[in-house]
Amino acid sequence: MDRILFNKMEFWGYHGAFKEENKLGQRFYVDLELYFDLSKAGRSDNLEDTVNYADIYKTAQQIVEKEKYELVEAIAERLATKILDGYMLIDEVLVRVTKPDPPIPGHYESVAIEIRRSRAGHNA
């Protein structure tokens, strides 16, 4: 299946289970893979036959920067739901939300949540 990829969109959000995270905020990276048939858009060269990249970006920005969640899993689920609800062309979405430098002991670059949701399972 065809796909459109959004790689490492960076946002500032106030998500987390610890009070400091909700007060100070932190960076989050979002990657999206939108699966749907792009052949009509490829042939027509018409924006109406695909999704507007700017609209997808604004959707992700709104969720990460304006809403608050304790869990990164909740951010990913909200993104997947909003995209499937708002863009009927999209059959499936893969969402990856990365939290660099989480406030837990150890040496690593980041933690990330990745979920895949499909239209078939969305309205079940």
Q: Which of these is catalytic: 19, 40, 68, 99?
A: 99
Contacting residues for 41 by C-beta, under 8 A, at least 6 apart: 47, 49, 50
Give the pTM: 0.92
- Tens digits of residue pLDDT in 49-82: 999 999 999 999 999 999 999 999 999 999 999 9
Question: Spelled out in words, what is the top-level CATH class assigned to the domain 3-122?
Answer: alpha beta
Closest CA to 8 of 70, 57, 55, 77: 57
Residue at token pair 């150890």: 106
Contacting residues for 84 by C-beta, under 8 A, at least 6 apart: 90, 93, 117, 119, 122
The yes-or-no answer on residue 40 being catalytic is: no
